[in-house]
Amino acid sequence: MNESAFAPKLLIFAKDEAVGREIRDAVRNGASEGPVNVYITTDLTQAVNTVRDREPNAVMIELSGELSHDRSRIGELRSVNPELTLVGVYSGESNTASISSGYMVELVRLGVSDFLRRPIAEGELNGFMTRLIPNQNVNEPSRYGTCVAFISNKGGVGKSSLAVNTATALAMRYPDEVLLIDASLQMGVCAPMLNLSPETSLYDAFEQRQRLDSTLIRQLATPHESGLLLLAAPPDPLAAADIDDQSIVRVLNLARRTFRFVVVDTFPLFDQVVMSVLDIATRAYVVLDNVVPTVLSVVHLLRLLENLQYPSTRLRIVVNRYQQLAGNPLIDDIARSLRMNVDHVLPYDKRMITAANVGRPCTMDWVRWSKLHRELKQLASEIAALQPVQEEDD
């Protein structure tokens, strides 16, 4: 989110930084439709990691003029993402052989879809940028599962309880297709709320990040009787400090390729890790209770998100543990303070507290006339509807 978290992403893979900056400046000058997030690298390993972690919409690769060399680099990039859009950039001073029609035909066969000549004229980028931007669908990526995050900048509002219960409700509908990630790195509580004692955690995924794949992430997740899988928070808070935002991005992107739904519980502090989670999440649920200090803290949080150009369409406001007590703001008061509608209201219910204490989510024990259960069911249904579900043939 350093530039614009929801703009198209472009990786420039050049022979040196100077060429990379030249191409970057040409791209930014030609991006008339809006901002573009640009990453520059001169190293193949870093380029591959950037494709894996940041999932750029396209890669502009400086061509060497040597087919075997270019074939190797393109093969490495496309091995990470076979559908990657590749644009070849060549110098106007290159020799004739390097830009011959035969050479370009071979590159097209390797997956290069466009060619640009340096120095890049503004007009040459118009068509490319027009094709790049419409491919960005930040709300419902068609080839990934749905990812939702529960966030708050204040502890004690029941955010983790909501994440656990919502994930459990989804898992009971879609067994083995829901992953709950406890990204509250220093003080995760999802495991005890599920009465689980995981032998592996998010830290193991971090340590194995270079070989992490769909099979391994399932092995590192701990199964729950509801059909849910949990990737628990690290047991050691000191070790958790090693997990950075780039590692979280890699885990989340892989999780979205592996599971139909990914639910993320976050630390009640707005840091780089939470920012990265929000960058990927299809929807973010902002959790608060109806206490004045909490409402005011969420006002500041929403203002921060607005300054970061986070689209309000991806936010939902959840008032948890709602009680109509003297002095507590009512729902209308909260909506006016936040300048947003309140989307979900979950009443205070001792059953939620009891469930957390005994390690059995209350969504596993349906109570027909309970308003709490009805609201939790509605929340899970809303998440399930975010992405069309393809029913498997019997």
The string of pLDDT tens digits covering residues 107-119 is 888 888 888 888 8
Q: What does each C-alpha distance from 29 to 4, 23, 38, 133, 305 come to in angstroms?
A: 16, 10, 12, 15, 27
178-209 confidence digits (pLDDT tens): 999 999 998 899 999 999 999 999 999 988 88
* Residues near 179 by beta carbon (within 8 Å), at least 6 away in sequence: 217, 221, 228, 229, 230, 231, 255, 258, 259, 261, 262, 263
Where does the pLDDT of residue 137 fall: very low under 50, low under 70, confident under 90, or very high at 90 and above?
very low
Whole-number percent of the chain with pLDDT over 90: 49
Q: Higher pLDDT residue, 32 or 314? A: 314
Q: What does each C-alpha distance from 9 to 14, 251, 272, 283 come to in angstroms?
A: 16, 19, 18, 20
| pTM of the predicted model as reported, rounded to 2 decimal places | 0.69
According to the model, what pLDDT value does residue 33 have?
Answer: 58
346-357 confidence digits (pLDDT tens): 999 998 989 999
Q: Which domains does the chain have, with CATH numbers?
A: 9-135 (3.40.50.2300), 146-384 (3.40.50.300)
122 has a pLDDT exceeding 60: yes
According to the model, what pLDDT value does residue 321 have?
Answer: 94
Q: Higher pLDDT residue, 379 or 99? A: 379
Structure tokens belonging to residue 203? 């830290």
